[in-house]
Structure 1
Amino acid sequence: MKLLLVEDEVLLAKNVSKGLRLLGYAVDCAYDGEEALELYDLNDYDLMILDLNLPKLDGMEVLRRIRAQNGDFRILILSARNTLEDKINGLDEGSNDYLTKPFEFRELEARIRGLLRRNFTTSPSQLLCGRLRVDTALRQAWCGPSPVELTPKEYAILEYLLVNTGRVVSAEELIEHAWDSAADPFSNSFRFHIHSLRKKLDEAGARDYIITQRSHGYRIQAPEEKTL
């Protein structure tokens, strides 16, 4: 999943983005309100983490402009504005959640998980496909009863395919949601991670779950003879 972190405190932005990347998220950073809107227009993000006290353009105005054109995009406000009135205003203007500073990183990540799960069609934290099961809270995959050990990037690819079960996902879309915008789409990194993920799933007993649609992309599907 690809996140946009909007935070003008550079050190805080670096620490939060580093922690999220270690968990497998792709993260872009914006350091003022104008840059936030520019990146939002240029890229396809799954969620925005938005500070309110921003230079150039206040975070509330960023929120209003995005909501004027997109009512479904998930936005989590992360702000030092901590009065009840601040929280009510943020939620009334259209944020999906509001977390005040100082905060615990684990709570931030849990709130991100909660917002990203809202369009999942399986149980709250479980993504299922045949013998495959992913727990988005634990960020762990299983084949049957056995855990499948994946790197953060392999996990990000698998999770995105499972969230989009039933449709073909292009390589460009996978890269957009699993890599930072600075990633080189022409490098071999994507093909390497797809190959490695397939190999691990095959070895775990989930053979041929990731199907290549030539010239179109990838889809995940459980072979009928292997579904539970």
Structure 2
Amino acid sequence: MRVLIVEDQPFLAEALQDGLRHEAIAADVVLDGDEALERVSVNDYDVVVLDRDIPGTHGDEVCDIISREHPTVRVLMLTAASRLSDKMTGFGLGADDYLTKPFELEELIVRLHALARRPTAATPPVLEFGDLRLDPFRREAYRAGRYLKLTRKQFAVLHLLMQADGGVVSAETMLEKVWDENADPFTSAPRVTMSTLRRALGKPEIVATVPGSGYRLSEPR
């Protein structure tokens, strides 16, 4: 999952970024509405965590533009405005969720996972492929009934592969969705993580390499 944090308080923005990264959620930060709109226009974000009162283009207008021009990007408004009228205004502008300050990071993470699966209405809460079963909310993965003890990065990569349902996932997509914009494009992190994930999944091999393209899940023959 890739998230854009739009928050004009640098300390809070960096704390959120660190917390999301710890959960293997790729998170970028901008401090104003103008840059937020620019980033959304060029990057493939799943969710935008948006403060309403930000410099530049106001958060309400940012929300309205995203909901109209980027309908697959979900918006979670994160603000101190807690009155019902404020929430109704936010939802009226196209916000998908609304979380008031102060809040617990754990609640934000749960809400982000809920929003990230909304773009495809048919996406089930629990993903299955062959004898693999993955529950994003419980952060549990099983193969043939065996619990898989995965690192956060391994889990996030497996989640991408299972969402693709046999489609190819490139190393670039992995960097974008599991790491973030600061990741070195020449890093071997996706390859190394894929190698350790394969070992964790065990035999028979279920992750296939597509030369020059990336990786995909393939049911063993």
Which bin holds the TM-score, normalised by the shorter protein?
over 0.9
CA offsets 1:159-183 (integer angstroms, 9 cap, x no match): 0111111321222122211111010
CA offsets 1:2-50 (integer angstroms, 9 cap, x no match): 1111111122112222221111111111111112112212211111111
User: Is the deviation greater in 53-62 or in 138-147?
Assistant: 138-147
Q: What letter corresponds to residue 196 of structure 1 in structure 2?
A: T
Give the CA deviation at 1:72. 2.4
2:159 match: 159
Runs of 4+ in 1 over 6 A off after TM superposition: none
Q: Secondary structure at the match of 2:219?
A: coil
Give the whole-Å Cα distance in 2 for the aligned partners of 1:186 and 1:89: 44
Give the CA deviation at 1:208. 1.8
Please, which runs of 5 or more residues in structure 2 have no aligned partner? none
1:168 match: 168
2:10 match: 10
With the length of structure 2 as denominator, give the TM-score of the two structures. 0.93
Q: Secondary structure at the match of 1:174?
A: helix
Classify 1:24/1:214 alpha carbon distance in 2 versus 1 (closer, same or farther; 3 Å). same
Q: Secondary structure at the match of 2:4?
A: strand
Q: Secondary structure at the match of 1:198?
A: helix
> Percent identity at matched positions?
40
CA offsets 1:172-225 (integer angstroms, 9 cap, x no match): 1222111110101111112111111112112xx4x321111112221113225x
2:62 match: 62
Give the CA deviation at 1:122. 5.3
Contact 1:3 1:46 in 2 (8 A): yes
1:38-187 matches, cutoff 5 A: 38-118=38-118, 119=120, 121=122, 123-124=124-125, 126-187=126-187
Contact 1:47 1:73 in 2 (8 A): yes
Give the whole-Å Cα distance in 2 for the aligned partners of 1:77 and 1:17: 16
Contact 1:170 1:216 in 2 (8 A): yes
Give the CA deviation at 1:140. 2.2
With the length of structure 1 as denominator, give the TM-score of the two structures. 0.90
Classify 1:129/1:120 alpha carbon distance in 2 versus 1 (closer, same or farther; 3 Å). farther
Give the CA deviation at 1:86. 1.2
Give the CA deviation at 1:60. 0.8
Q: What letter corresponds to residue 116 of structure 2 in structure 1?
A: L
Contact 1:122 1:128 in 2 (8 A): no
Give the CA deviation at 1:144. 2.3
Q: What letter corresponds to residue 98 of structure 2 in structure 1?
A: Y
Q: Secondary structure at the match of 2:117?
A: helix
Give the whole-Å Cα distance in 2 for the aligned partners of 1:199 and 1:16: 32
Q: Could you tell me which of 212, 217, 221 is aligned with 2:218?
A: 221
User: Aligned pairs, how many?
Assistant: 220
Contact 1:148 1:201 in 2 (8 A): yes
Contact 1:212 1:218 in 2 (8 A): yes
Classify 1:223/1:120 alpha carbon distance in 2 versus 1 (closer, same or farther; 3 Å). farther
| Cα RMSD for the two superposed structures | 1.6
Please, which runs of 5 or more residues in structure 1 have no aligned partner? none
Contact 2:117 2:123 in 1 (8 A): no
Q: What letter corresponds to residue 109 of structure 1 in structure 2?
A: I
Give the whole-Å Cα distance in 2 for the aligned partners of 1:120 and 1:148: 27
Give the CA deviation at 1:121. 4.2
